[in-house]
């Protein structure tokens, strides 16, 4: 017969990817001493607790040689592979953002170059540089929004395959998806700014003289 003295919160004791399981904490018996783990919490520097712990153990049994380790060190060892995977994915993500930025810059710059005469005619008929700037940025933002919408749709499918690597969020976590979409839109508009400014500075006479 066991007496319940308290209820502890849920915890993943072996790995972050393990599902939550029901665990029971009970008093240690004599045969459990070889695998017994004592967890101590301190408000000061954790390393300073080790000498005091060894002194307390030697006072009870000098022949007992327990293994002392910091909980944060054990935690980092358990998630080392996960951290490496997250770092690799982050680096690949940054490379993808850089490539996307260059792609947007190249596409918008090419589009502006192809429409130089049209832009010159617009400005000759009274269009202001601000209006040309807004036109180019508006078209670039429309294309970027369409691409981001397609990418978000594809992410719902792809994230199902990396679900085991996600901790604390779901594959369809709205703040994460919308935050990534907002970041990509800012990057796209930033990449479009240079060709848009170039289009707004086109001189109508020079533009009309081009073939």
- Domain spans of the chain? 1-78, 80-209
| Burial status of residue 111 (CB atoms within 10 A of its CB: 0-12, 13-18, 19 or more) | middle
pLDDT tens track for 49-96:
778 777 877 777 777 777 777 777 777 777 777 778 778 888 988 898
154 vs 28, higher pLDDT: 154
Of 143, 162, 134, the residue nearest 100 (C-alpha): 143
| Burial status of residue 180 (CB atoms within 10 A of its CB: 0-12, 13-18, 19 or more) | middle
Band (pLDDT 50/70/90 cuts) for residue 117 is confident
Of 197, 60, 188, 62, the residue nearest 132 (C-alpha): 197
Whole-prediction pTM: 0.57
User: The tokens of 85 are what?
Assistant: 């995977």
Q: Which residue has the tokens 């807004």?
A: 134
Count Cβ neighbours within 10 Å for each residue of 117-138 and write b for 16 or more, e otherwise.
eebbebbeeebeeeebbebbbe
**Mean pLDDT, residues 42-46 taken together:** 75
């Amino acid at each position: 017969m066991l007496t319940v003295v308290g209820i502890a919160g849920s915890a993943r004791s072996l790995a972050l990817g393990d599902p939550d399981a029901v665990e029971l904490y009970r008093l240690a018996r004599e045969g459990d001493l070889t695998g017994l783990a004592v967890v101590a919490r301190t408000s000061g520097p954790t390393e300073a607790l080790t000498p005091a712990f060894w002194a307390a153990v030697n006072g009870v049994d000098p022949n007992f040689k327990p293994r002392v380790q910091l909980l944060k060190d054990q935690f980092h060892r358990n998630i080392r592979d996960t951290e490496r995977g997250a770092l690799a994915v982050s680096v690949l993500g940054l490379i993808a953002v850089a490539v996307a930025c260059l792609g947007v810059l190249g596409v918008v710059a090419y589009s502006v170059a192809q429409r130089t005469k049209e832009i010159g005619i617009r400005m000759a008929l009274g269009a202001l540089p601000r209006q040309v700037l807004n036109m180019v940025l508006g078209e670039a933002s429309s294309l970027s929004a369409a691409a981001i919408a397609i990418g978000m749709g594809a992410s719902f499918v792809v994230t199902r395959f990396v679900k085991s690597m996600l901790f604390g969020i779901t594959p369809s976590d709205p703040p994460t998806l919308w935050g990534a979409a907002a970041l990509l839109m800012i990057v796209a508009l930033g990449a479009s700014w240079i060709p848009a400014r170039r289009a707004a500075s086109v001189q109508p006479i020079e533009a009309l003289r081009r073939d």
